[in-house]
Amino acid sequence: MSTAGRGLHGHVLDTLGPAITAGEYPPGSVLRTDELAQRFDVSRSVMREAVRVLESMHLVESRRRVGVTVRPKAEWNVYDPQVIRWRLAGADRPRQLRSLTVLRSAIEPVAAGLAARHATAEQCAELTECALGMVAHSRGHQLHGYLVHDMAFHRVILSASGNEMFARLGDLVAEVLAGRTHHDVMFEDPDPAAVTLHVQVAEAVREGDAERAEQLTREITVGALHELDILAP
Amino acid sequence: MSTAGRGLHGHVLDTLGPAITAGEYPPGSVLRTDELAQRFDVSRSVMREAVRVLESMHLVESRRRVGVTVRPKAEWNVYDPQVIRWRLAGADRPRQLRSLTVLRSAIEPVAAGLAARHATAEQCAELTECALGMVAHSRGHQLHGYLVHDMAFHRVILSASGNEMFARLGDLVAEVLAGRTHHDVMFEDPDPAAVTLHVQVAEAVREGDAERAEQLTREITVGALHELDILAP
DNA sequence: GCGATCAATAAATCCGACTTTTTGCCCCGT
DNA sequence: ACGGGGCAAAAAGTCGGATTTATTGATCGC
């Protein structure tokens, strides 16, 4: 599901990363590698590797004679999948989920429009298959089956857009959908209107109707925004 | 302007990162840390730190007994600012510039709409100041002055949206704008219509007219897409 | 003849000692 | 009393040897 704590330094990251992103160490805090190495019971080299990774994520800055200082939240690489996972697992999960949903609402309609232009026959087939799967699992508390097809649907759309930047958001959207299903509302069956919209998007993409695909997807994302009470009345 | 090659491992990254993102080592290639350490004349520890950073960017995967293998392009963290800079400096700069411009076209209109709702008085002032600066430098080959205000304008919009994910795209958009000015067309003065649109966006945000701000910004990004011949007729 | 198990090996991984640089503090001079 | 220059400590940075592990291939058994 998530990244395995590969190696010793991976295990350090799995506990230090969430701690930093959760705000346990406020911006400007100084951490000494020696102390951390002792605390995690690893050598200083291992700790240095972990610090380098944190540094590449702009979570911390390492300076001589000063130590490892935590950088302000505004400078973090919030698009790093690892950082996103850490924040989703932490305390400000709701805030993160809202940010990501707004991002979805901006990206996915455009991606759907592009997909209508560039999707291959195989991708169109996958898309309709996913939509049908969603319909099949839309009633009778089959939330897990519905979720699987929903995630696959959006992943295909993003991938079929032909834009690599969009394609790489597949994991992110999947994480948002999974989070919404598991932790928030949605104890009931999904909104029938949303299911219909997905089927129609698959149609529009198959017919190459970019304008319609974009508008329909926009309606889907607007629904997602409403679920989180983001849209003002 | 770009990241300083902090430390020895930073220097290694500054030459190895561009080489990998440029495709000099095709996916599946194996690199041995010992060999690389010799080639760069550094210790294995330093090379290991560099490899860890590359690994956190999903550019490579380090496995025992097999070496450091280059991952396929589709798995790279293309949102990492460092990776973006490396790719912009490399051979597929045009492709990267197109991808980023499409991303802009999806994000910025939504960000402008949000900015109209959430912008503070100070941010509105900055925005109008930037727009005026663009007007002032729009004629007589003052490309540099125009660019500075253009970058600042879009940065303020993204920041004022109140969405941290959008805000972090400021550097990215600045890079795109700078790239367009320096390496591509635009030997003449900027399009007067685009200048007017920026002024009108500032107005709309100041007046809190989200719908208008979004539509006007969409016109700006459509213009940017046309410049790169991305939009089909 | 084919498959599974085990040993040899190649490469990453881990460790402790040494080096370099920065910064804070103290002393001296004005 | 105030300011500059130098000294010392503290922390990150660097290095090469020892260790672990996974792959490969060869041998033994079926």
% residues pLDDT > 70 (chain B): 95
pLDDT at A184: 59
Q: A43 touching B, CB under 8 A? A: no
Q: B188 touching A, CB under 8 A? A: no
What is the C-alpha to C-alpha distance for residues B25 and B69, in angstroms, rounded to an integer?
Answer: 9
Q: Where are the domains of chain A?
A: 7-75, 92-227
pLDDT at B180: 82
Q: What is the pLDDT of residues B179-216, one digit of tens each?
A: 888 775 556 788 899 999 999 999 999 999 999 999 99
% residues pLDDT > 90 (chain B): 82
pLDDT at B7: 84
Taking CB atoms and an 8 Å limit, are A168 and B77 in contact across chains?
A: yes
The distance of A192 to chain B (nearest Cα, Å) reads 27
CATH topology of domain A7-75: Arc Repressor Mutant, subunit A (1.10.10)
Q: A77 touching B, CB under 8 A? A: yes
Residues contacting A67, CB < 8 A, separation 6+: A30, A31, A32, A33
Instruction: Supply the CATH classification number for the domain A92-227.
Output: 1.20.120.530
Residues contacting B167, CB < 8 A, separation 6+: A74, B158, B159, B161
Taking CB atoms and an 8 Å limit, are A53 and B48 in contact across chains?
A: no
**Which positions in chain B touch A114 (Cβ < 8 Å)?**
102
What is the C-alpha to C-alpha distance for residues B215 and B113, in angstroms, rounded to an integer?
Answer: 8
What is the dihedral angle through the alpha carbons of A30, B83, B89, B108, rounded to the nearest 10 degrees?
-100
Q: What is the pLDDT of residues A79-127, one digit of tens each?
A: 999 999 999 999 989 999 999 999 999 999 999 999 999 999 999 999 9
pLDDT at B186: 56
Mean pLDDT on B116-136: 97
Q: What is the pLDDT of residues A143-171, one digit of tens each?
A: 899 999 999 999 999 999 999 999 999 99
Question: Which residue in chain B has the smallest CA separation from A63?
Answer: B6
Q: What is the pLDDT of residues A8-40, one digit of tens each?
A: 899 999 999 999 999 999 999 999 999 999 999
Q: Assess whether pLDDT exceeds 90 at residue B230.
A: no
pLDDT at B187: 65
Q: Assess whether pLDDT exceeds 60 at residue A186.
A: no
Residue A229, burial from CB neighbour count under 10 angstroms (0-12, 13-18, 19+) = exposed
Proximity of residue B4 CB to strand D below 7 A: no
Q: Assess whether pLDDT exceeds 80 at residue B97.
A: yes
The distance of B186 to chain A (nearest Cα, Å) reads 25
The distance of A17 to chain B (nearest Cα, Å) reads 13
